[in-house]
Structure 1
Amino acid sequence: MKAIQITAPSEMKVVDIEKPELKPGEVLVKIKYVGFCGSDLNTFLGRNPMVNLPVIPGHEVGGVIEAIGEDVPESLKPGMSVTVNPYTNCGKCASCRNSKVNACEHNETLGVQRNGAMCEYIALPWSKIIPASQIPPRDCTLIEPMSVGFHAVSRAQVTDIDIVMVIGCGMIGMGAIVRSALRGATVIAVDLDDEKLELAKRVGAHHTINSMTENVHERLTKITEGFGPDVVIEAVGSPATYVMAVNEVGFTGRVVCIGYAKSEVSFQTKYFVQKELDIRGSRNALPADFRAVIRYMEQGTCPKDELISKVTKPETARQAMEEWAAAPGKVFRILVEFD
């Protein structure tokens, strides 16, 4: 079967691999679409230290069930539209012991620590199959990245009395904006791109700030009447946005970090103490986060077409990745179509 493989930095090609054999307890999924995410871009650029090349990328999946193995629940049926939970959990580490399997110490994500789903078929344990029968396979690719943003909002314990600032309006940031708005919070979206900020308004942001052209602190002071946001969710992963999160969050506020900064970050640690901050990491997502995204998407208000920047074929995937690398700020998601 056909698959896409990243063989070395800036090298991507279509290869032929064996179609997986279905084992007991597994489901065979026919892949229709797979999304390229930021980790795939970093792998392509040689900036992902967790990857061992060559690797088949891809963990944002939209497909249909092709076949069912033995000992699989009857609720999973051939032809059903699905996405997948791309993470593993060992069941033995501290995170798993504490029922936080999303942060398993030994997690292996599809397309990162193990070969991913950017191929025609994939076989996975039935417990990793997430039914989404009311959502077309193309749109199922948006579920996993949005669930990461949803999980960050859960980590922040957002309520309807909170003012939440989300830094970064990519796919994961959009998920955080959506979930915060669904919980009734007042949401402030911060980004460098006006088009992304306009879309952030459509999915629930009440205020937007272009940090390239506006003074973020002055705008926040006005919006929050000088108190600062109750919650800041960092969804960029740069030293500047990490510092912004700590500096701008209100006293006794919560800072939730999703993005990985690629270099060391210097903080005024006095703010940690003076503000008595809760600073929390947020990794991957839990099954409940996937279900919440599916419910949101079933409501029909998600601007799915705007969130999908480009659909390409396996043979032109490398070109699409090169275009994304040249203008990363203009892309939400690039999908590869295998159908």
Structure 2
Amino acid sequence: MKAVQIVNPHEMRVVDIDKPVLGVGEVMVKIEYVGFCGSDLNTFLGRNPMVNLPIIPGHEVGAVIEKIGEGVPEGFTKGMNVTLNPYTNCGKCASCRNGRVNACEHNETLGVQRNGVMCQYAVLPWQKIIPAEGISSRTCALIEPMSVGFHAVSRAQVIDNEFVMVVGCGMVGLGAVIRASQRGASVIAVDIDDEKLALAKRIGAAYTVNSMTENVHERIQSITGGFGVDVVIEAVGSPATYVMAVEEVSFTGRVTYIGYSKTEVSFQTKLFVQKELDIRGSRNALPADFRAVINYLKAGNCPVDELISNETGPDGAFDAMKEWASNPGKVFRILVKF
């Protein structure tokens, strides 16, 4: 069967691999759409230290159940639209013991620490198959990245009557905008691209700030009456936005980081103490986050077509990735269709 493989930095090809064999307790799915994510871009550019090349990318999936193995419980049927939970958990580490399996110390995400599913068929344990009836397989490919943003909002414990600043309006950041606005917060979206900010406003942001053309601090102070924001969710992963989060959050506020900087970050650590901040990380997503995204998408209010920047087949994946690498700020999601 066909698969897309990143061979070396800046080198991608279509390869033939064996079709997987269905086992006990497993489900075979026919892959219909797979999204390229930021980790795939970093792998392509040679900036992902967690990847051993060559690797098949892909963990943002829209698929259809093809076959069901023995020992799979009821509730899964052939032809059902599904997405996949792409993470593993060992069940023994501190995170797993505490019920936070999304942050398993030994997690292996599809397409990162192990081969992904940018191919025609995949076999996974039934526990990793997430039914998404009522949602097209194309839209299903957006569920995983959006769920990462939803999870960050849960980590930040966002409630109504709060100002929440979301820094970065890519797919994950937009997920955070949606979820925070669902919870009744007043969301301030920050990005350097006016088109992304306009979309953020359409899906729930009350305010937008272009950090390239506006003074972020002055705008935040004006919007919040001089208090600063109650919560910052950082979805970029740059030193500048890491520092911005701590500076713009209010006294006794909460900062949740999704992105991680590839270089060291210098903080005025006195702000941690003076403001008595809660600073948290947010990694991957939990099953409840996937379900919340599915419920949101079923409502039909998501501008799905605006979130899909490009759609191509396996043979066009290399060109699509090169185009993204040349202008990363203008892409939400690239989908590869099988």
What TM bracket, shorter-length normalisation?
over 0.9
Match of residue 48 from structure 1: 48
* Number of the residue aligned with 1:202: 202
Counterpart in the other structure of 1:192 = 192
1:120-154 CA deviation, whole Å, 9 max, x = no partner?
00000000000001100000000000000000000
Partner of 1:78: 78
Aligned partners of 1:52, 1:208: CA distance in 2, in Å? 39
- Structure 2 matches for 1:286-325, cutoff 5 A? 286-325=286-325
CA distance in 1, matches of 2:269, 2:241: 15
Letter in 2 for 1:100: R
User: 2:153 is matched with which residue?
Assistant: 153
Shift of 1:306: 0.1
CA–CA separation in structure 2 for the residues paired with 1:209 and 1:333: 22
What are the within-5 Å matches in structure 2 for residues 86-235 of structure 1?
Answer: 86-235=86-235
Post-superposition offset of 1:183: 0.3
- What is the rounded CA distance, in whole Å, between the counterparts of 1:295 and 1:248 in structure 2? 32
Who is 1:255 aligned against?
Answer: 255
Tell me, in whole angstroms, the C-alpha distance in 1 between the residues paired with 2:313 and 2:288: 32
- Specify the SS of the correspondent of 1:334: strand
Q: Which runs of structure 1 show a deviation greater than 6 angstroms over 4 or more consecutive aligned residues? A: none
Deviations 1:265-319 (A, max 9, x none): 0000000000000000000000000000000000000010000000011001000
The residue that corresponds to 1:274 in the other structure is 274
The amino acid across from 1:39 in the alignment is: S
1:12 counterpart residue number: 12
Question: Helix, strand or coil for the counterpart of 2:151?
Answer: helix
CA RMSD of aligned residues (A): 0.3
Unaligned runs of 5+ in 2: none
Deviations 1:205-233 (A, max 9, x none): 00000000000000001000000000000
Q: Which amino acid aligns with 1:333?
A: R
Letter of the structure 1 residue corresponding to residue 178 of structure 2 = V
Pairwise CA distance, 1:196: 0.2
Give 1:59-74 correspondences, 5 Å limit: 59-74=59-74
Task: Tell me, yes or no, if structure 1 residue 241 matches structure 2 residue 241.
Answer: yes
Structure 2 counterpart of 1:235, one-letter code = A
1:238-290 CA-partner distances (Å, limit 9, x unpaired): 00000000011000000000001010000000000000000000000000000
For 2:321 and 2:265, locate their aligned partners in 1 and report how far apart those are by CA, in whole Å. Answer: 28
Structure 2 residue identity aligned to 1:201: K
In the TM superposition, residue 188 of structure 1 has moved relative to its aligned partner by: 0.1
Is 1:329 the counterpart of 2:333 in the alignment?
no
Distance 1:175 1:114 in 2: 25
Letter in 2 for 1:314: P
Letter in 2 for 1:154: S
Alignment of 1:32-43 (within 5 A): 32-43=32-43
TM-score under structure 2 normalisation?
A: 1.00
Tell me the amino acid that sits aligned with residue 231 of structure 1.
V
State how many pairs are aligned. 338
Aligned residue for 2:32, secondary structure, equals: strand
Tell me the equivalent position of 2:30: 30
What letter matches 2:157 in structure 1? Answer: Q
* TM-score for the superposition, normalised by structure 1: 0.99
Percent of residue pairs bearing the same amino acid type: 76
